[in-house]
Each structure stands twice: as C-alpha cells, then as structure tokens.
C-alpha cells in the first residue's frame, strides 16, 4: 500500500481536483477536514461525520497533549482506536494554540515554554516533542512545528519568525524521520510563513522545498487580516509551492473563503466554523448563512436549505430547530452541526465536479451571487 501519493486528476484555471492516497484511505481534493479538537468533532459521532462525506478529520496536538495526554492515547491504541475513526487523521503541530491560548509563554530557538490554559502546569514544546506527540497519537498527516505571528507585526519581526520556523521545519523533518514504523506509513507537511509579504513567502517556500515535504501548508492567514488581504496573498502563495504536492490552507474558513481559495489553487482546508457556528445557531446554506435564533423562523416549516441532502434537512423544519436552539436543547446543536458539516462536504463535491467538467469559473460566479444574496 502506498504511504502517500497525490494525483492531480483535473485542472480548471488554478483550481485542481485530485486525490491523496494513504494506507487508511483516499482523500478527495479539494478537501475539507472537520476539526476534532479533543478527539471528537463536537456534537457528532465519528460515523456521522463520515456520513457527511468527510474523508479525513483534524486532531489537535496542543489539546490532546494536555488532556488526556499523548502517552495515554498511545497506551489505549492510538487516536484512531481511541475515538473510533478508521480513516486518515491530520494532527496540527500545537504551535498556533501555544501562541493563542497560553497567557504565559516564552519563545526561544529551542521551542516554546508555556503554561497550560487548563491548570497552569508548565510544558515545553519543541519541534522534536511535537513530532513525538503526533507519533504517539498515530496521526497520518503530521504538521511541522512553527510559529505563527500576527500579520500586523513589523516586517522584520515576521521575517525573523519565518526564518526560525524554517529552522524548526528542518528539525521537524529530522524528528519525524527518526520515528521508525510511524514515519514509514505517515506523511509530513511543511508550513509556509511570511504573513502577507510575497518575498518572505517566497523565501519560506524555497526553504521548505529544499528540505522536502509530502505536502505544504499555507500558514499565517485567517488570523484577522480579512478576506481581501487573504485572497491577495493567495494570488501568489500557492504558486510558490511545488506543483506536484497538495497545498493546505490552515484554519479556513467561511464557504466563500473556500471557493475563492480553491480558485487560487488550494487543495485542503480545516476550520471550526461549521461546528462552532452550528452550536451557536448559525446554519450555512447555498443562499448564505442564517441565524436560527431569529424569531422569523418560529413558524417556518421549510428545511434549513432546500438544496441540501443531509438527514437534518430531510426530516426537520426551521421552526423545530429554532425551538430547540431557543430552548437550549442538545439536539439543536447536533442537527445544526450535522447540516453544516454536510453542507461543507456538498460544497467540496460541487467544486470537484465543476473542476472536472471545466466550468469552475461559472460555478464560482454563481455561488458568490447566490451566497451573498441573503
């Protein structure tokens, strides 16, 4: 069985339809990965996540290392067995959460010393430790350890951070390669940094390519810079990365973000938005997002989305879901999450079909028109 292979099956402009083949299954691209932060996609059973069309999910190194602990997960048979998901899992490196969740942290060339947001306990996360944790979890796609600075930091600060992340990328490569059986069946992705700066992004891409990775992520976006600036960066960033490898835009995003990013050559995505928004009463539809808390839905007998084929839309009305959400019923979060994840997967399938049929530009234009009509 192939350890890792990426095949581009069709191109339409910069948009690409492809397939990643791994030991635990195939991943159709463009792919959206639901986020299973703490070994669970919130409000969903793993078999229900799979039923939405998801080929791969994401687990979070930072959260799992703190609770229940990577060593414990390993003793219990690894993350796949622990959470009953037998298909590929991508684990992030933990770097972003260290930066965003840890009030007390100290960054050095060695790594990041930080205090747990759970209990204040002290930890040190280095490229080598990140690789070890992801190996203990048994992930299929491992992410290199990096630092993700804010896009509005001074250019020299961003440059120094990017250069350190590239040194960490080489240490991540060496740490991953020392992983024996895990390294023989898993894949390692490098992460391009450089914020919104084209030259820094180019330098980062060249450094990563020289090291060599199975895939390449575009990091440092979707951190508050706005869609216009993100798209302007995506106009050049994917093109700087190897053509024969998948490109993964981390932490993105809204449905219209996904369409615009695929249009610019991105192959993989993850985001908490469909699950988090669902729990908070927001449903994504082909005609834009709707807030089911609004009183106007109290007697609306239509499904969340007439075009959606998910079980929620087949069986439940907006009025009923409005009632569940306003009543704080758990079922409301479950139904909304099922719909949102299904909608995202239906969107990815629609994009794959449009690319294969050479009509992606028309699809994107129609989508943007309908999605922004609400």
Average pLDDT over residues 325-331: 98
Q: How confident is the model over 157-179, as pLDDT tens digits?
A: 999 999 999 999 999 999 999 99
The residue from 230, 252, 271 where one domain ends is 271
- For Cα atoms 61, 64, 66, give the angle at the middle one, nearest 5 degrees: 110
Residues 56 and 150 in one domain: yes
The residue from 227, 247, 271 where one domain ends is 271
Confidence of residue 104 (pLDDT cuts 50, 70, 90): confident
Range of the domain at 321: 273-374
Residue whose tokens read 């706005």: 226
Q: 85, 39, 82: which is closest to 61 by C-alpha?
A: 39
Residues 155 and 65 in one domain: yes
Residues 247 and 318 in one domain: no
Cα 93 from Cα 102, distance rounded (Å): 15
pTM of the model: 0.97
Cis, bond preceding 253 (omega within 30 deg of 0): yes
Q: How confident is the model over 267-316, as pLDDT tens digits?
A: 999 999 999 999 999 999 999 999 999 999 999 999 999 999 999 999 99
Residues 194 and 324 in one domain: no
Residues 69 and 171 in one domain: yes
Cα 28 from Cα 51, distance rounded (Å): 15
pLDDT at res. 117: 86
Residues 3/184, Cβ–Cβ less than 8 Å: yes
Residues 248 and 321 in one domain: no
Confidence of residue 99 (pLDDT cuts 50, 70, 90): confident
- Provide, rounded to the nearest whole percent, the portion of the chain with pLDDT above 90: 92
By annotation, the residues acting in catalysis are 92, 270
Residues 6+ apart with CB under 8 A from 81: none
Residues 299 and 173 in one domain: no
Confidence of residue 105 (pLDDT cuts 50, 70, 90): confident
Residues 72 and 171 in one domain: yes
202 vs 46, 162, 196, 197, 311, CA distance in Å?
Answer: 39, 11, 11, 9, 45
The residue from 271, 300, 327 where one domain ends is 271
Average pLDDT taken over every residue of the chain? 96
Report the number of distinct structural domains present in the chain.
2
Q: Which residues pair with 42 in a beta bridge?
A: none
């Amino acid at each position: 069985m192939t350890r890792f292979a990426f095949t581009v099956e069709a191109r339409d402009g910069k948009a690409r339809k492809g397939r990643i083949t791994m030991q635990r299954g195939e991943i159709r691209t463009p792919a959206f990965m639901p986020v299973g932060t703490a070994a669970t996609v919130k409000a969903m059973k793993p078999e229900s996540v799979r039923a939405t069309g998801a080929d791969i999910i994401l687990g979070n190194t930072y959260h799992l290392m703190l609770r229940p602990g990577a060593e414990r997960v390993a003793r219990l048979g690894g993350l796949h067995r622990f959470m009953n998901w037998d298909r590929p899992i991508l684990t992030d490196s933990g770097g972003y959460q260290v930066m965003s969740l840890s009030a007390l942290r100290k960054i050095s060339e060695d790594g990041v010393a930080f205090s747990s947001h759970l209990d204040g306990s002290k930890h040190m996360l280095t490229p080598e430790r990140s690789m070890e944790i992801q190996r203990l979890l048994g992930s299929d796609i491992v992410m290199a350890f990096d630092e993700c600075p804010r896009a509005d930091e001074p250019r020299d600060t961003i440059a120094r951070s990017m250069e350190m992340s590239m040194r960490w990328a080489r240490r991540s490569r060496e740490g991953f390669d020392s992983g024996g059986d895990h390294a023989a069946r898993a894949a390692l992705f490098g992460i391009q940094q450089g914020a919104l700066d084209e030259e820094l992004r180019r330098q980062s891409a060249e450094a990563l390519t020289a090291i060599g990775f199975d895939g390449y992520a575009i990091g440092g976006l979707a951190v508050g810079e706005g869609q216009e600036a993100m798209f302007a960066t995506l106009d050049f960033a994917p093109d700087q990365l190897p053509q024969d490898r998948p490109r993964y835009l981390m932490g993105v995003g809204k449905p219209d973000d996904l369409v615009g990013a695929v249009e610019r050559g991105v192959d993989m995505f993850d985001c908490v938005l469909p699950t988090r928004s669902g729990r908070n009463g927001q449903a994504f539809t082909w005609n834009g997002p709707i807030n089911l808390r609004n009183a106007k839905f109290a007697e609306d007998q239509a499904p969340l989305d007439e075009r959606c084929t998910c079980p929620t839309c087949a069986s439940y009305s907006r009025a009923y879901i409005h009632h569940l959400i306003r009543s704080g019923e758990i079922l409301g979060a479950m139904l909304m999450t099922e719909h949102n994840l299904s909608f995202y997967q239906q969107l990815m399938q629609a994009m794959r079909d449009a690319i294969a049929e050479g009509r992606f530009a028309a699809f994107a234009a129609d989508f943007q028109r309908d999605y922004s009509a609400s």
